[in-house]
Structure 1
Amino acid sequence: MEPIGHRRWAIADGYLPAWSHGPEPEMVSHESVNILNAGPTDARVELMLYFEDRPPAGPYRLTVPAMRTVHQRINDLDPPVPTNLGYACVITADVPVVVQHTRLDSRQAENALFSTLAAPG
């Protein structure tokens, strides 16, 4: 099979609310990068986060096994990502992958959920 995806992706709109409404952990406001590796080789992936008012954070490293997907919550990165602050994320991989960005905003009882493909670079 021919590789699917790209080796570099960007998410320009990131934001982690400081509070949530509803049961944890399911309804905690969060963002995630969802990475598909449809290829035959494990993908070594790095996330770099860029902020409005401070130096970049990262690289955050993870592995996406061959023929698998990983859904990485930004809230769960270590060291933690600051809340109530806009950020952007650049994702690089050593093999082609597909990246999707998802946000759940549960600051009120009427939740907002959106998902979009990241921009290939």
Structure 2
Amino acid sequence: MSATNLAKGHLLWYIPDGYIPPESSGQLESHESICVLNCNAEETQIYVTVFFEDRPPIERIEVKLEGRRTKHIRTSGLEKDGEHIPKGVPYAMEVESTLPVIVQYSRLDATQPANALMSVIGYPIS
């Protein structure tokens, strides 16, 4: 089977650790991003559900991603019906897609003079 016949990615991904620091130092602002790669020729719909420790989730925030493109979605910019992810609050995310995609999660921690960058692949569900 050639690589062109293989499914590239998954429809459902989980990111269990999210946290946007309330303060940053220096020139850069702390932030987190969901990085999504769509290898398909067609556009896909992405739906992000944000879970919290002490309140109901923000359900199915919709993001469109064109075919054969990548998108870096800042979690601080996710919003639905006036709700957004507040700074200084732990959260987790479910990322659904109408087509198989690859999901990576990145965090820039600029709370100290020495910045830290972390990036991991999300947890895919087959």
Q: TM (normalized to structure 1)?
A: 0.93
Residue 60 (structure 1) shift: 1.1
Residue 56 (structure 1) shift: 0.3
Instruction: Provide the residue aligned with 2:103 in structure 1.
Output: 99
1:32 aligns with 2:22: no
Of 2, 14, 17, the match for 2:18: 14
| Counterpart residue identity of residue 68, structure 2 | M
| Counterpart residue identity of residue 13, structure 2 | W
1:113 aligns with 2:114: no
Give the % identical residues: 36
Of 85, 91, 107, the match for 1:87: 91
**Structure 1, 57-66 or 27-36: larger mean CA deviation:** 57-66
- Say which SS state the counterpart of residue 99 (structure 1) adopts: strand
| Counterpart residue identity of residue 116, structure 1 | V
**Structure 1, 2-11 or 76-85: larger mean CA deviation:** 76-85
Q: TM (normalized to structure 2)?
A: 0.90
**Deviation readout 1:50-108 (Å, 9 max, x if unpaired):** 00111101321111110000000001122321111111000000000000000011011
Quote the RMSD (CA, aligned, Å): 0.9
Q: C-alpha distance in 2, partners of 1:19/1:70?
A: 26
Instruction: Provide the residue aligned with 2:60 in structure 1.
Output: 59
Larger Rg: 2
| Counterpart residue identity of residue 52, structure 1 | E
| Counterpart residue identity of residue 51, structure 2 | Y
Pairing 1:40-55 to 2, within 5 Å after superposition = 40-55=41-56
**Aligned structure 1 segments of 4 or more residues deviating by more than 6 angstroms:** none
Which blocks of at least 5 consecutive residues in structure 2 are unaligned? none
